[in-house]
């Protein structure tokens, strides 16, 4: 294997972060790694509409996205594939030819549908290794035409095998190494800053993703402040949300944080609503994660699945949230158990699995 094409999607920042880290690992191993956004390989304008619709739905009409997710991503009566897979085939062929790819790695569910369809139809000679980033593997990830699946947990790999009978392995989430080393830094510049700002209060991160999406954010931040914590709201790139949070006394509003691993090392817990990259980065950094007020569709499914696996906690209401924070933000057996469980997900290196597949071809 010499050249690998990684297909990501700019739906938030998570899939791209995974693709960039995977590409970096492959290049370090002497391979040529290329990235392409599957949304940009659709006919002109289609990808932008799709991204805009999804962003609007999860922010302003979660009931709509819940319905779409139930009908197209979960229901056995819904369509097995998506018509968009046919629209992207031409663009994927051009991307594969341009970099002479020996292997294609989708890290977004639409890309997995495209490559699986192309493999079945004989339109893609290169084998495919789907890197499924969800803990709850919905049906749009699954296409029997793909060669193998690499999953974030053994449970997710079993979901793939039961769904389509394809080989599936569980190397774990793909997270930059700096997160695994975060605890040793002691929090860097953030430690002193939060010590001064917090006046003895334990810092607690509240994630809203790169788009600043969250339900009941003001109420959550105020509840934490009243209970004696220092709420640090990760507002992503949404300046409106950041300005709103900055007006609340006792709340620390953060924009896009480049050294988020150091901030995690200086914090007591992460409140998560999406089961995405921020959550697995926190687990790698040894930061306990509490799922609370998850976003619609895949966010809720993933948050609940992570809690069932025992790698995170889930709070169904404010009282449960404050109770979980009281147990997890302070040194003790429960915190240590959650940290160990979270880190146990990182069982192997997805890049090594991809190299192994390439060597077999």
Ordered structural domains, the chain, with CATH: 3-175+346-360 (3.40.50.2000), 177-343 (3.40.50.2000)
Q: From its phi and psi, is residue 204 left (phi > 0), alpha (psi between -120 and 50) or beta?
A: beta
Distance CA 344, CA 76 (A): 32
Beta bridge partners of 49: none
At 84 the pLDDT is 81
Residues 6+ apart with CB under 8 A from 126: 5, 96, 101, 102, 103, 104
Residue with tokens 């009282």: 319
What pLDDT score was predicted for residue 79? 46
Q: What is the model's pTM?
A: 0.93
Do the beta carbons of residue 212 and residue 238 sit within 8 Å?
yes
Strand pairing partners for 314? 291
Q: What pLDDT is recorded for position 78?
A: 46
Cβ count near 336 (within 10 Å): 12
Q: What is the pLDDT of residue 147?
A: 96
pLDDT of residue 77: 54
- 182 closest CA partner among 205, 151, 211: 205
d(CA 26, CA 44): 30
pLDDT at position 74 is: 78
Cα distance between residue 187 and residue 196, in whole Å? 14
CB 87 within 8 A of CB 321: no
CA distance 266 to 201: 12
CA dist., res. 153 & res. 135, Å (int): 7
> Do residues 115 and 146 lie in contact, with contact meaning Cβ atoms separated by under 8 Å?
yes
From the first residue on, what is the mean pLDDT of each consecutive set of 10 residues in the chain (361 residues)?
91 88 95 95 91 83 86 65 83 95 96 96 96 95 95 97 95 96 87 83 92 88 96 91 91 90 96 95 97 93 96 97 97 95 96 81 62
Rounded to whole angstroms, the Cα distance separating 280 from 108 reads 17
Confidence (pLDDT) at 225 = 95
SS3 361: coil
213 φψ region: left (φ > 0), alpha (ψ -120 to 50), beta (else):
beta
Report the pLDDT value the prediction gives residue 76, as an integer from 0 to 100.
67
Residues 244 and 252: their CA atoms lie apart, in Å, by 11
DSSP notation for 148-160: EEEESSHHHHHHH
Backbone angles phi, psi at 250, to 5 degrees: 80, 5
What dihedral do alpha carbons 95, 130, 126, 1 form, nearest 10°? 100
pLDDT score of 57: 79
């Amino acid at each position: 294997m010499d050249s690998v094409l990684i297909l990501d999607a700019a739906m938030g920042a998570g899939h791209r972060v995974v693709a960039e880290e995977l590409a970096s690992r492959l290049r370090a191993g002497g391979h040529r790694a290329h990235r392409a956004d599957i949304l940009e390989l659709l006919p002109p304008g289609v990808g932008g509409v799709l991204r805009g619709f999804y962003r609007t739905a999860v922010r302003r009409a979660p009931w709509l996205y819940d319905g779409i997710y139930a009908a197209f991503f979960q229901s056995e009566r819904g369509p097995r594939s998506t018509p968009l897979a046919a629209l992207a085939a031409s663009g994927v062929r051009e991307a594969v030819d341009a970099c002479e790819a020996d292997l294609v790695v989708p890290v977004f569910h639409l890309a997995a549908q495209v490559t699986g369809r192309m493999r079945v139809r004989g339109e893609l000679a290169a084998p495919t290794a789907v890197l499924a980033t969800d803990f709850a593997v919905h049906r749009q990830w699954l296409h029997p035409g793909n060669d193998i699946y690499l999953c974030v947990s053994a449970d997710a790999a079993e979901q793939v095998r039961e769904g389509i009978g394809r080989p599936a392995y569980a190397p774990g989430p793909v997270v930059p190494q700096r997160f695994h080393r975060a605890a040793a830094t002691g929090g860097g510049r953030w430690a002193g800053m939060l010590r001064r700002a917090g006046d003895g209060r334990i810092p607690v991160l509240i994630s809203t993703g790169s788009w600043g999406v969250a339900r009941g954010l003001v109420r959550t931040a105020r509840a934490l402040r009243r209970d004696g914590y220092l709420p640090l709201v990760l507002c992503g790139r949404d300046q409106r949300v950041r300005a709103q949070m900055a007006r609340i006394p006792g709340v620390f509003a953060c924009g896009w944080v480049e050294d988020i691993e150091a901030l995690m090392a200086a914090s007591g817990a992460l409140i998560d609503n999406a089961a995405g990259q921020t959550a697995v980065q926190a687990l790698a950094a040894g930061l306990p994660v509490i799922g609370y007020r998850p976003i619609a569709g895949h966010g809720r499914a993933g948050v609940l699945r992570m809690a069932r696996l025992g790698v995170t906690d889930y709070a169904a209401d404010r009282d449960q949230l404050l109770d979980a924070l009281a147990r997890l933000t302070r040194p003790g057996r429960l915190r240590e158990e959650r940290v160990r469980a979270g880190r146990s997900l990182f069982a192997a290196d997805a890049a090594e699995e991809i190299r192994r597949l390439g060597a077999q071809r």
